[in-house]
Amino acid sequence: MNVRLPVRGRLAPSPTGFLHLGNAWAFLMAWLACRKEGGTLVLRMEDIDPARSRDAFAQAIVRDLRWLGLDWDEGPGRGGPHGPYTQSQRLDLYADALRALAAAGHTYPCYCTRKELRTLAGAPHVGDAGAAYPGTCRDLTPARRAALEAAGRRPCVRLRCPERAYAFEDAIRGPFTMTLEACGGDFALRRSDGVVAYQLAVVVDDGLMGITQVVRGDDLLVSTPRQLALFDLLGFAPPSYMHLPLLCDAEGERLAKRHESLTLATLREAGVRPEAVIGYLGRKAGLLDAALPMQPHALLPAFDPARLRALPHRVLIEADPLSALAAVR
């Protein structure tokens, strides 16, 4: 008999900029999915990149989530039994995972320079997986490795990817199967400058925090087989997945931090109310017949992944979203 684990979802922003409308879309759907199941929601700051992460952005993220009415049960400002909830304070845990993978023969050092890797840019890409890594350093002899290190090359650490397909049932996309070769081959777990890669950090965190439900954008779909491989190799149970259609501008471009006019801070300064943002996004998700001012909990009765399955892969906002938001009343 299958025992259904209590739902543990997460919001996992990167404090590399201010939250924008696209972030609000993803976090609202993640909040609804978790709260609909009566789950526990974790807020985790994914500040693994020291060059881009800023404490000011982390503080702004907390402020913006609270402004939207999205609460959490564990994380910054709440504490909890699975802390710390900031990746920069969890580096020892990632180092332990790397050592375990290395001891089992699952990793190898890669000495390819950025210039050499850029030459792969013309190779076929799969979604956002990037160009495939051809395994240049996979089977280097000890002598060759020593020569490269003597020449000043600092290696990154790559996973020696298992030669198998990984399959899962996505709550929106349905059955999905992909080999790691199709995802780009052996991928980096730690950069040559010592910074731990996203793929490793997120799996260690989800595993140790007991996350059972991951709701995120469709752009991360091709990351899932990589993460399933790491869950398996590290002995963690994988979560369920729900990959959302992307919220895009009127031209179909994915909303990003370069869309400064659509940051929540800018919208707030323009007089947009949080209830208008929630109602607007609820209408875009097909949860409302018309965009009306709403608190997040008011969308819970209507939330159903089946409604999201009916959406296009790219959900477009208006050319003048500020006027559209101002009309929500």
The single-letter DSSP state of residue 48 is: -
Tell me the mean pLDDT in the region 264-268. Answer: 96
Asked if 76 and 108 sit in the same domain, the reply is no
Asked if 58 and 25 sit in the same domain, the reply is yes
> What is the total residue count of the chain?
329
Q: Which of 165, 186, 201 is where one domain is finished?
A: 201
Q: What is the pLDDT of residues 279-300, one digit of tens each?
A: 999 999 999 999 999 999 999 9
Give pLDDT, residue 242: 98
- Cα separation, 149 vs 236, whole angstroms: 34
Q: Where in the sequence is the domain holding 122, given as residue range(s)?
A: 91-201
Domains held by the chain: number: 2
Q: Is 108 annotated as a binding residue?
A: no
Per the domain annotation, does 217 fall within a domain? Answer: no
Asked if 290 and 271 sit in the same domain, the reply is yes
Catalytic annotation, pick one of 36, 115, 257, 284:
257
Per the domain annotation, does 223 fall within a domain? Answer: no
- CA 50 to chain CA centroid, Å, is 17
* One-letter identity of residue 67: W
Asked if 82 and 146 sit in the same domain, the reply is no
55-68 and 21-36 helices, crossing angle to 10°: 60
Q: Is 10 annotated as a binding residue?
A: yes
* Residue listed under structure tokens 């996973």: 159
Asked if 106 and 185 sit in the same domain, the reply is yes
Q: Is 11 annotated as a binding residue?
A: yes
Closest CA to 180 of 203, 210, 159: 159
Asked if 249 and 197 sit in the same domain, the reply is no
Q: Is 34 annotated as a binding residue?
A: no
Answer yes or no: is pLDDT of 125 > 50: no
Give pLDDT, residue 124: 47
Q: Is 161 annotated as a binding residue?
A: no
Per the domain annotation, does 233 fall within a domain? Answer: no
CB 136 within 8 A of CB 112: yes
Asked if 96 and 194 sit in the same domain, the reply is yes
257 classed as catalytic: yes
Give pLDDT, residue 1: 47
Asked if 82 and 95 sit in the same domain, the reply is no
Query: CATH number, domain at 60?
Result: 3.40.50.620
Asked if 174 and 258 sit in the same domain, the reply is no
Q: What is the pLDDT of residues 196-246, one digit of tens each?
A: 999 999 999 999 999 999 999 999 999 999 999 999 999 999 999 999 999
Per the domain annotation, does 2 fall within a domain? Answer: no
Per the domain annotation, does 240 fall within a domain? Answer: no
Q: Read off the pTM.
A: 0.94
Query: CATH number, domain at 128?
Result: 3.90.800.10
